[in-house]
Structure 1
């Protein structure tokens, strides 16, 4: 059992597919705005529009997708979403090779990929409990979060150098290949891809309402959801303008931008490695609000970045941010999966995804306005202040009076759920 769940064949295939998909997402996160800024001479506003379109589908479709995926075979959804994203991003290097790549095409590509990402994210968040026992959810989520961490460390550097050496279109093409490879691993999972148990279908609005009510009536899930809404808007400020800030105010090349981000995000790898151990030592409940506060502190270090020795603020801030996000995600995701009844897994996952991602377009659009009014550095200060203030939702919730999260493990044994 030295390798834990990696000795489980189907989980190992899911883990490999997830790693490839995470690499694709991370390459895309840096390569697309750099392609727009360098090759197509995009403005800060146009880059913010790209990010807005990428996340707009979560606002428009996430809740509906949750109800639909509760009726569908999850692995089939994952494979189709990966294949579709490969086609969408694969069109970019083809257009660039013929000299016809434009900003409108990039807008369409990221919008289509955004819709497919909603299906992938919701199905992915609900697929793990069907592969492993609930007692192993924390380990499974920690290993999947490790993929996020490794991709966060390796992909920005790879993406930055791909853009510098071969151009942004090539980097996006590598992204497309990673999605195809992910789909191939998912198809090799041997566990039956069961159709959810047939039940009388209520109107879509009622099914969506069931998921919303479960989250908002549960005191811990409600606090997590409120934190996600607030932090999502502020996080988009940083994501939207960070590359432009490093290029135009700190005067770094694409390769150095990728290297700087990769070096700082090693904290995410450490977070994935120590999340379970820290949870046992400090208590999962206490660790969740501590991680949220540390995330805000990390973000407040980033706008201190300047040329020369001041560059150190960026990787230090990113290190603390990456570690905090991963630790928080491992425990809140495992908790939500454990307390949610099987019949509501898709809708509760979709509600959580909606609360986290749906405010993203608002944050991205605001980032473009703030960048033109307060400047790129000023926008990063607002991002840090907002993320730090968002932690108060968890600090002031029932989590503050708890050390452990016993409900998850009790309900895991009894099959009941909190109300």
Structure 2
């Protein structure tokens, strides 16, 4: 059992606490902007977008940098920077210099730290665990990440209510201190890089993109992720407004419904590896990413009273499918990609996948404004299972399992196509 693996335990706790802190900040920062700085709706939206902006600005070069350096120090430095930045918010408020511009800068800088942490964490796990344990490790990490996000969103409001919007950031900052201590407790040290050549950064970035574009398996999964995020963020960006204004649900009940629905991610982390073992990784990917998310179409049918269960069931099944699918795909990429390119692969796929997140949010808001909230939900939730057609019309549908073993022909089309 991986729980007996000392270094993995520390890594698991550190990454989970980091996710918890990030989730708390997604609630706390907008509350500070609204309640303390009287920010406009546009400014609050800009604050949310600022956290994702670094993926578009530096996501690709970070992958190349991570492949050049040891990953553990990167995660330590990222946690330390987030600790200092979030702690600066109450200090700035005490000095009466806190502004919306300050919060925007914090959101961008902590977003940069998150890009480095997430990219390094993805590339570090295959070094920490043998290949036979990576599926279990990914399941535990994805499951705890989902639980941490649920708890973080719920606790964010409670922390702000108990300590105040600004002082609550001390609690948020402390989570990154815990993450820093956990990662520092890991004894495993990566072997020194033997490559002494200095390849131009642009060349290494292009190598990561060619790896994704030139391999049918990686290309298919990346395109699917980008298209899927359009639908996911499209409906998620307007669901709170829909529940409050169209259905008449109180804010407290909205939070409870979203928390229940989000718990599907924990179930997905539990089921992903087990279903993949029973029916094959390729078939399980189709089930979790196409068949199960079809229940997203229940969400626009949501109504008052018992009809609220339609939203809960639909969103819960989406959560199961997304996290289970991510668990399977993460394990596949880690075993399939050469070690020296794992950072660039993580950055390239994240750049392309996360780049559609702000577009999806803008799409959902625009459709809701022009066509109405329920119509917008029909369109955006339909996009969730429709994205699975990318997988259905790919070689994945003819396979029981995704390829095993490491990719040899980097940057070229993989020759191991279905027969």
Which residue does the alignment assign to 1:136? 133
Which piece of structure 1 moves more, 53-62 or 300-309?
300-309
Question: Are positions 1:120 and 2:111 aligned together?
Answer: no
Which residue does the alignment assign to 1:381? 378
Which piece of structure 1 moves more, 96-105 or 279-288?
96-105
CA distance in 1, matches of 2:126, 2:164: 40
Which residue does the alignment assign to 2:276? 279
Q: What is the Cα deviation at residue 213 of structure 1? A: 1.2
TM, length-normalised to structure 2 = 0.89
Question: Are positions 1:203 and 2:207 aligned together?
Answer: no
CA distance in 2, matches of 1:365, 1:208: 28
Q: Per the alignment, in what secondary structure is the counterpart of residue 201 of structure 1?
A: coil
- 1:85-121 residue CA offsets vs partner (Å, 9 max, x unmatched): 2222233344455666443332222111111111111
Alignment equivalent of 1:22, drawn from 12, 15, 19? 19
Q: Is the 8 Å Cα contact of residues 229 and 353 (structure 2) preserved in structure 1?
A: yes
Q: Per the alignment, in what secondary structure is the counterpart of residue 68 of structure 2?
A: coil
Q: Is the 8 Å Cα contact of residues 82 and 176 (structure 2) preserved in structure 1?
A: yes
CA distance in 2, matches of 1:243, 1:403: 39
Q: Spell out the pairing of 1:152-191 with structure 2 (5 A cutoff).
A: 152-191=149-188
Which residue does the alignment assign to 2:299? 302
CA distance in 1, matches of 2:173, 2:241: 24
Which piece of structure 1 moves more, 188-197 or 208-217?
188-197
Alignment equivalent of 1:401, drawn from 391, 394, 398? 398
Which residue does the alignment assign to 2:49? 52
Which residue does the alignment assign to 1:265? 262
CA distance in 1, matches of 2:303, 2:160: 23
Alignment equivalent of 1:329, drawn from 322, 326, 329? 326
Q: What is the Cα deviation at residue 195 of structure 1? A: 3.9
Q: Per the alignment, in what secondary structure is the counterpart of residue 70 of structure 1?
A: helix
Q: Is the 8 Å Cα contact of residues 127 and 190 (structure 2) preserved in structure 1?
A: no
Alignment equivalent of 2:366, drawn from 359, 365, 369? 369
Which piece of structure 1 moves more, 375-384 or 73-82?
375-384
Aligned residues: 412
- 1:233-252 residue CA offsets vs partner (Å, 9 max, x unmatched): 33222343344444554455
- 1:128-183 residue CA offsets vs partner (Å, 9 max, x unmatched): 01111112111111111111122133233222333455544455443222112111
Q: What is the Cα deviation at residue 79 of structure 1? A: 1.0
TM, length-normalised to structure 1 = 0.89
Which piece of structure 1 moves more, 91-100 or 63-72?
91-100
Q: What is the Cα deviation at residue 185 of structure 1? A: 0.4
Which residue does the alignment assign to 1:315? 312
Which residue does the alignment assign to 1:220? 217
Q: Is the 8 Å Cα contact of residues 47 and 240 (structure 1) preserved in structure 2?
A: no
CA distance in 2, matches of 1:239, 1:398: 30
Q: Per the alignment, in what secondary structure is the counterpart of residue 391 of structure 2?
A: helix
CA distance in 2, matches of 1:312, 1:93: 40
- 1:192-215 residue CA offsets vs partner (Å, 9 max, x unmatched): 144433232221111111111111
CA distance in 2, matches of 1:101, 1:255: 29
Q: Is the 8 Å Cα contact of residues 49 and 364 (structure 1) preserved in structure 2?
A: no
CA distance in 2, matches of 1:377, 1:97: 44
Q: Is the 8 Å Cα contact of residues 223 and 393 (structure 1) preserved in structure 2?
A: yes
Question: Are positions 1:74 and 2:71 aligned together?
Answer: yes
Q: Is the 8 Å Cα contact of residues 126 and 334 (structure 2) preserved in structure 1?
A: yes
CA distance in 1, matches of 2:58, 2:34: 29
- 1:1-25 residue CA offsets vs partner (Å, 9 max, x unmatched): xxx1111111110000011011112
Q: Is the 8 Å Cα contact of residues 164 and 254 (structure 1) preserved in structure 2?
A: no
Q: Is the 8 Å Cα contact of residues 235 and 380 (structure 2) preserved in structure 1?
A: yes
Which residue does the alignment assign to 1:10? 7
Q: What is the Cα deviation at residue 367 of structure 1? A: 4.1
CA separation of 1:173 and 1:300: change in aligned 2, threshold 3 A:
farther
Q: What is the Cα deviation at residue 302 of structure 1? A: 3.2
CA separation of 1:32 and 1:373: change in aligned 2, threshold 3 A:
farther
- 1:242-278 residue CA offsets vs partner (Å, 9 max, x unmatched): 4444455445555433322222222211111121110
CA separation of 1:244 and 1:12: change in aligned 2, threshold 3 A:
same
CA separation of 1:239 and 1:266: change in aligned 2, threshold 3 A:
same
Question: Are positions 1:355 and 2:365 aligned together?
Answer: no
